[in-house]
Structure 1
């Protein structure tokens, strides 16, 4: 099989799955926004980072475990690979319990920290209470899918995510529009969709007969440590848009009020589709990069990465053009007011321009954690939110900018991070060449 065909065989289903996941993220906003208007849209935008945190935690642990699993199998260490899978499942269960308990214990202070007050606090709490209750479904749905992709089941992973997507849409329509359950109805639809995906992933893994055996204490602790060491990168890559949302919501509330939050909610939902498409390229290429890296086949590994950059660039360009042409219709999709729609059309192009830099950062970060370059992947993942915070603390204070300074912070931070990613990638290439010269194998 040619390298190009191998790449697209694995990456195309992953991109399709994340494309649906991108629509998945805006489904609740669509139904709630058209039911409750700007208040509902602002509330779901304020609360969504908590739901995204749960999914990112599952993605981080699951993808990290799947990377280690793939490298161990590539090195023919089957027993250790099985123990790695079992440890990841136990870690996902532990994460689910801790997140549910933690959110329930600190719900009101947490929502106030995110900027929810008054009626927005009540609406957001209705949504998050249900989301926390279903944390186990979300963590396992996102955490087990990477194992399916790494076992060659990219197509099945896509259909599992499609099943969750369809379930979510159907139940959103029933719960929010037909039965009028509002925010809580949207949340019940979300966790039901995640439960559908989780059940299908469990079915696939049982059929594959990977085996499950609880590792002994020291081995379990060792796998927990190894998984968590790498997990911070895919977690951050998945959750960083929500870190941005949290920061933007706080500063937009301060400088522009509730209506500005509704504007950013529309922009965030639309740009999230592009982020997830790019994550689909990165996560779809990860099993191939991890495999050829562990085997010491660096020329093919670099070819996989090159194809990932080219595919990511093409997706970013297509999204820039398509969303720019439709910029005046984005707010209408979410039932936003006329003023909100006009503001979305005004500010969205700034965020589309930054996609030129964002695609390079996303693919580079996926390459870094696929090859277990943990520290450098951390730097690249968290450089963007750190830069956004600095810019938000400085730009709006300038008399000539004010609210415009808040809107400029994200695209400027993404441009800066793009420059950092070029430097890091060149450094890692030199490091990998030294590893190859030192002896066979890179694991």
Structure 2
């Protein structure tokens, strides 16, 4: 990384670092959206609701997966930088095995308490049947998802982010083809969606294992010596990412509980479909954040404080314009999008009204996310944590439990814009204090 390049080609450098990450993130989100399309059109609104009601489970798995991946690659990277190849490889193998063990234990735990989970969110009979059919297969797929996430971190650590992107493309294409085959041809219903996810994840897993067995130049699959110190440091290093995912799990559970109580299955289905757009947009924003972060850190470490601020400001312009573009597209295509996933008129009406309110959150959410990334990048974890907890848990939960009670489903759609608007006040305040 060259400081003069960052100074003279700031916009180009931001895009150069961000675009590969954005592509990888968008590909990941497409699997969820494609699954939703097939479930909505070939299973129905009850199927969409069933999958969404189990999303808190997914975030728990992601929390552990990201914690081990981020924590492990940080320790392995430091060892690699110190030319300690043996320790780096030891960390790699221990991280992978630890993630396998934890994810399998988690699947056993969830399998035992599946009935209690269904009762906790007050699922009606038909939705409960779909929930059981889908997640009885997905608890086999999620451990593979965790391992894939961990291996992907180490592929990036090998300096091959484009290879990981190609494996993601293979996984997405496999998932789409299998969705069509199991749903359209074999008529497997919601089980077919879960089987497609399981098989496509296995294809991705084998691709990455082949890489580490045959092509990797640094990290090799081999015997290792277990280290309590490495395990502790891995968990500590990845703890903030784990907390973030747990916040998502809690807030998603709260969303589902409130919507089921106030609106019912139609509300959950509509919220899920609107959420696909939010999910896709958040992946783009996180991609920009991941691209800008190393540039900000490098500039700040070189005492180029104004340059680090400039990178933040330019990235904020990118994410704000991205939000405006998404809003324009939704204004034009909201009718088409509302009818793309379900055939229920009541759900379509809820989606259409929801998009007209929810989309305003995109004007603020990108800036809040980038500001959080900025403070993390310059070593100010407290400010970053407050911003993340505000929009991801504290203010969000307050809005979830008040606005729908006052305004019904309109209140549900208001939660995101109100939360992001309140959080952006915090973001601006922290930026001003920091610049002083």
TM-score normalised by length of structure 2: 0.86
Work out whether residues 85 and 218 of structure 2, in 8 Å CA contact, stay in contact via their aligned partners in 1. Answer: no
Q: Is it true that 1:39 corresponds to 2:46 in the alignment? A: yes
Change beyond 3 A, Cα 1:74–1:362:
farther
Question: What residue in structure 2 maps to residue 342 of structure 1?
Answer: 349
CA distance in 1, matches of 2:135, 2:388: 26
Provide Cα deviations, 1:323-358, integer angstroms capped at 9, x if missing partner.
232222222111241221122111113221111221
Query: What does residue 411 of structure 1 align with?
Result: 417
Q: Which of 201, 210, 213 is 2:218 aligned to?
A: 210
Matched, 1:147 2:158: no
What residue is the counterpart of 1:200 in the other structure?
207
Q: 1:289 to 1:157 in 2, by over 3 A?
A: farther
Question: How is 1:44-443 mapped onto 2 (pairs within 5 angstroms)?
Answer: 44-70=51-77, 73=80, 81-206=88-213, 207-211=215-219, 220-237=227-244, 243-286=250-293, 305-369=312-376, 376-384=383-391, 385-398=393-406, 401-424=407-430
Q: Deviations over 1:66-93 (max 9, x none)?
A: 3444455556666554444344323322
Cα distance in 1 between the residues matched to 2:401 and 2:89: 47
2:429 and 2:80 map into 1 onto residues whose CA distance is 31
Would you say the 8 A contact 1:63–1:147 is kept in 2? no
Tell me the C-alpha RMSD between the 2 structures.
Answer: 3.1
* 1:110-148 Cα deviation digits (max 9, x unpaired): 232234231111111111111101222100222222333
In 1, distance between residues paired with 2:90 and 2:296? Answer: 22
Deviates further, 22-31 or 42-51: 42-51
**TM-score normalised by length of structure 1:** 0.84
Change (3 A) 1:6 1:405: closer
Give how far 1:236 is off: 4.8
Write the distance in 2 (CA, Å) between the matches of 1:342 and 1:175.
29
**SS of 1:354 mapped into structure 2:** helix
Segments of structure 2 that go 5 or more residues without pairing to the other structure are none
Q: 1:233–1:374: 8 Å Cα contact kept in structure 2? A: no
Answer whether contact 1:75 1:294 (CA < 8 A) is retained.
no
- Counterpart CA distance in 1 for 2:118 and 2:403 is 26
Q: Structure 1 residues 203, 37: closer, same or farther in 2, change over 3 A? A: same
Q: Displacement, 1:289?
A: 5.4
Q: Which moved more, 1:105-114 or 1:266-275?
A: 105-114
Q: Could you say if the C-alpha distance between residues 357 and 230 of structure 1 is closer, same or farther in structure 2, counting changes exceeding 3 Å?
A: farther
**Matching residue of 1:438:** none
How far apart are the structure 2 equivalents of 1:315 and 1:409? 21
Cα distance in 1, alignment partners of residues 295 and 377 from structure 2 = 9
Distance in 1 (alpha carbons) for counterparts of 2:380 and 2:126: 45
Where do 5+ consecutive residues of structure 1 fail to align? Answer: 431-443
